[in-house]
Amino acid sequence: MSPAAIILAAGLGTRMRSNLPKVLHPLAGRPMIQHLIGACEAVFGRIVIVVGPDMPALEDAVAPREVVVQRERLGTGHAALQAAPFLGGHQGDVAVLYGDNPLISAATLQALVAARQSAGLVLLAMRPADAARYGRVVLDAKSEVARIVEWADATAEERAIGLCNAGVICAPAQDLFRWLGAIGNNNAKGEYYLTDVIQQARAEGKRVVAVEAPEAELRGINSRAELAQAEAEVQRSLRAAAMAGGATMLSPETVHLCHDTKLGADVLLEPHIFFGPDVTVENGVTIRAFSHLEGCVVKQGAVIGPYARLRPGSIIETHAHVGNFVELKATTLGAGAKANHLSYLGDAMIGAGANIGAGTITCNYDGVAKHRTEIGEGAFIGSDTALVAPVKVGKRALVAAGSVITDDVPDDALAIARGRQAVKPGRGFKGKGKR
Ligand code: UD1
Ligand code: MG
């Protein structure tokens, strides 16, 4: 039978100092527990998540997966035992993972499950640069795991051990739940430690082995500083994947990607670009420095920025240009169209080849509702035009600079909507105090 997994996520995450449950803090725009669930789904046929009694947001985030509530937070061993009604009768292996340990790859989980064939209990271990407060893995003369000692309970000598417990174990279901039922809480924290199943397994004569994996995958997140380190790790791997896919980054460490950012081949990214969720950038697009994109599609050959903001619902068609200090929201900019300077384009449909002059604003909101602006193919909107929506400007229409357009403009027409200039001869500036 395929192995099953229990993910522990009932802890309060006190060291985060947050109202949000720890495992909902995002990495690359996705709650950390979703990263872990993603890896688990590649390996485990069934996943049960242990949550706390007052975490409706967490239950929503992991739905429709099976959830069990740990009513009292009595420790990681007690938390794992809560899954017994679901998995106690499971014919096969069960792994226990921690929700605050979200970067484990599916390959490492496969290695864990594979190693179980030749041992009674397997755990994942690492040798972090800073062993900090991780549990230390004590090996015996045969290099098998003798026990794990929690930092709080460890002697100075034990704290000097570099091999640390990552917090992932795997054993046959029947054994695991029997051991969990037998552990006590006689330790520094008065908690039921999951790690104490090792002594139970050893007492029954089982081999307990540690599978080592890189710290980058196994780091736990207990504080904002550790969250930032994990974010850096995720960003590094997302950028590496994007570059492997053919994107050029002039300064990779300044580009912030989202877990679902899609970048095509021959995309050029200048420094300092932020991608929020749901962005697709097609082949041959250039995104210039200091741009911010979310919920948008940028099609082949388009040029964005510098200093552009693309908000959700924006579609930039092929070879269109969005220049500096231009914001788009729920707007389609047609193929080859240009909005190069200082504009707000919201709830608009802009035809192919249209030119949007500097300072053009779609006045899409009347204080109550949003309204649409349509601009036809090849239209030319003069600088500093206000388009008071709902309004339509026809194909190849010309709107004079400085116009306030409140009525539709037909195809091929010229619209001028501004005060006429008055010239008064001799009334020029005479210098200070001489008017
Ligand atoms: C734990 C391990 C430690 C390991 C480290 C790796 C134990 C006793 N210690 O320590 O050996 O080096 O992880 O990151 O297991 N949780 C519950 N219910 C509880 C308590 C915790 O669901 O009653 C959950 C938490 O939400 C968290 C996970 O279990 O996701 C781990 O708990 P945490 O308090 O972070 O343990 P660590 O001190 O990090
Ligand atoms: Mg932890």
* Cα separation, 202 vs 186, whole angstroms: 19
> Which pLDDT band holds residue 375 (cuts at 50, 70, 90)?
very high
**Active-site annotation, residues:** 341
What is the total residue count of the chain?
435
Residue 254 has pLDDT above 90, yes or no: yes
CA distances for 128 relative to 16, 231, 260, 348, 413, angstroms: 21, 17, 29, 52, 70
Residue 1 has pLDDT above 60, yes or no: yes
Residue 434 has pLDDT above 70, yes or no: no
Per-residue pLDDT at 12: 84
* Cα separation, 350 vs 375, whole angstroms: 5
Q: What mean pLDDT do residues 374-401 have?
A: 98
8 A C-beta contact, residue 349 and residue 364: no
Query: What per-residue string of b and e applies to 247-258 under the rule 16 or more CB within 10 Å gives b?
Result: bebeebeebbbb
Q: How remote is the CA of residue 3 from the centroid of ligand 2, in Å?
A: 24
Q: How remote is the CA of residue 422 from the centroid of ligand 1, in Å?
A: 76
pLDDT tens for 162-215 read: 999 999 999 999 999 999 999 999 998 999 999 999 999 999 999 999 999 999
Q: Which residues line ligand 1 (CB under 6 A)?
A: 8-11, 50, 70, 73-76, 78-79, 98-101, 134-135, 148, 150, 164-167, 193-195, 220, 222
Instruction: Tell me which ligand sits closest to the C-alpha of residue 227.
Output: 2
> Which pLDDT band holds residue 125 (cuts at 50, 70, 90)?
very high
Q: How remote is the CA of residue 220 from the centroid of ligand 2, in Å?
A: 5
- State the chain's mean pLDDT as an integer: 97
Q: Which ligand 1 atom minimizes the distance to the CA of 166?
A: 6
Q: How remote is the CA of residue 99 from the centroid of ligand 2, in Å?
A: 8
Question: Residue with the nearest Cα to atom 8 of ligand 1?
Answer: 193
* Cα separation, 212 vs 182, whole angstroms: 27
Question: Residue with the nearest Cα to atom 7 of ligand 1?
Answer: 193
**Where do we find the tokens 């054993």?**
171
Per-residue pLDDT at 431: 84
pLDDT tens for 53-62 read: 989 999 999 9
Per-residue pLDDT at 432: 79
Q: Which ligand 1 atom minimizes the distance to the CA of 11?
A: 26
How would you classify residue 354: left for phi > 0, otherwise alpha for psi between -120 and 50, otherwise beta? beta
Q: How remote is the CA of residue 13 from the centroid of ligand 2, in Å?
A: 8
8 A C-beta contact, residue 293 and residue 276: yes
How would you classify residue 170: left for phi > 0, otherwise alpha for psi between -120 and 50, otherwise beta? beta
Instruction: Give, as one character, the DSSP assignment of residue 91.
Output: S
Q: Which ligand 1 atom minimizes the distance to the CA of 165?
A: 12
pLDDT tens for 33-55 read: 999 999 999 999 999 999 999 89
Q: Which ligand 1 atom minimizes the distance to the CA of 134?
A: 12
